[in-house]
Structure 1
Amino acid sequence: MIKFTIRQMEYFEALADTQHFGRAAALAGISQPALSAQIAELETRLGVRLFERGGRTAPLTEDARALKPRIDHILSELRAIEATAQRGRPTMEGQFRLGVIPTVAPYLLPRMLPPLRNRFPAFTLELREAVTATLVEETATGRLDAIIAALPLDHPAIMVEPLFEDRFFLAVSVADPAFASPPVPPDNPALERLMLLEEGHCMRDQALAVCDRVRTTAISNYGATSLTTLLQMVAHGQGVTLIPELACSASQAIPELKVVPFAEPAPFRTLGLAWRKSSSRVRECQTLAEIIREVSISAPQLDHPS
């Protein structure tokens, strides 16, 4: 009988998804030589070559493409068995490593942490704030249990649960005459004064997409490290910036700032919770997603922010 391990099938899955030995090793949480050795042993035991070597990538061979659906099915069944076994054990206990993007963390966490602590006092969040690309990589490699970020999140090792839609508004100075009569059409020439977060923040790309009908040369000249910095600069007449509905209530603490709506259909982003497909904490992730949806629904709606 051919004997190979579940771990080797997981390494096969990682390499088949990434087609790159370095990225697959990071995904599996082991060194590249160790992963290469395990794949080589798997090939020896099966008697076939599974991946091409020698180039920048590691494409699947014809034998590997035929084998992949079967291994995917086996791993899926094993994970289902693991999830079933977990139903009899206590959930929402212990430490949970959660990553959150900077344009969400300061505004969502104060809403979700109190009910989470009240309902699950034995559940402890270890929080990490970073840009999307960093959080996705750390989730895929097992350094984080889950992340909250704007969709889409494209990574073969993670699965995504949509949470809620977060509308975009425009933050302007109360003294700015260009926005005296909202709503703001997406082709308003004053949007050329839009200030952005620095490279790496997903909201930078979202802002450019929202304002794609105006000249972008002036838009791209400035990048800040935080939304708070941008709002302070806007309040002092330095330009305008995009603000998600999630952050609108916090902006009310800046008296020189005004938040105005866009013309319909209003732009928005969709926030989601993501975790590794192979995670053993799926139930906790799903419960966390439910709590986040609850607090987003119960939060005050900003139909006419000012």
Structure 2
Amino acid sequence: MKSSTLNSKSILTVAESLLDSACHFTLGTETAPFAGGEYIIYSLESESKSRSICLRIPRDSTNPHVGFLVAQEAGVRRRIDAARIPLFQPLLFADPTADNELGETALNWITSKINRKIVRAKANTLPGGTVAECEDQKNLVAEYWIPELDTAPHVLVHGDLSGNNIIVADDDTFAVKSIIDLGWAELVPLQFAAVYPRFLTHEPDDGAVKFASRDTEQMREDRTFYLQCIQGRATREGGIALDYYRVLEREDEPSRYWWFTAASRIGIHKAMVSCGWAPFSITKEPEIEERP
């Protein structure tokens, strides 16, 4: 459904066809739908109030990436439903407008991401990015790709897990009731899903490109503690947990993380270009010779 053709009648028609029941809007979304960065959300329930439904419509249905994102999220949601993972609402229906499958291997996954950037750069639709810069990133695949984990399982990554997307009970327990907004969720190859929490990733300040400036003593202590926690679990469980730990303990983990993050974040792409794709390289101060 295109956002340009939306009205209360069309929304009701879709909801009633999915629930096979007369419906009405809830939470005031008929006139004031919830709005995120990418989607508009309508909430409805059946007249008997026995079933509820949310319809999430892309803000800009003409964006060429919308179909890919919808198809990708629908695939993630179907896997969640099949695995019976709690806290997620079941997917009733999705209508993607494009069909772009991710590669099955980790190598195909990261290469396809960079190749899509190259296509955009050639079409002058990658803001602030050039073909040469994307090719420089692609040339680093051999350095950062981990062959022995190439066919390791893909794991679910929420992509935007924050307090705004965690629904808790309205009582003293604050028990987690639901996880919402999977617009950026992905099934990511293990070697690219094994990352530190975002607040431990040397995220540059707004507009800054000096990753190393965030490498404070406190940051190093916190990262060490986090890695020790992962190591303890890896020792107990082995398997994927051990592989996860081995990726995190790599000496080049910070540079590797920002390298593959730049495949999907243009701001990080620009920051990595500005430091020659070596965010933690040390440049010696020029020596000053004493003159007699």
**Band the TM-score falls in, shorter-chain normalisation:** under 0.3
Structure with greater contact order relative to length (CA < 8 Å, sep ≥ 6): 1
Give the structure-2-normalised TM-score. Answer: 0.24
Give the structure-1-normalised TM-score. Answer: 0.23
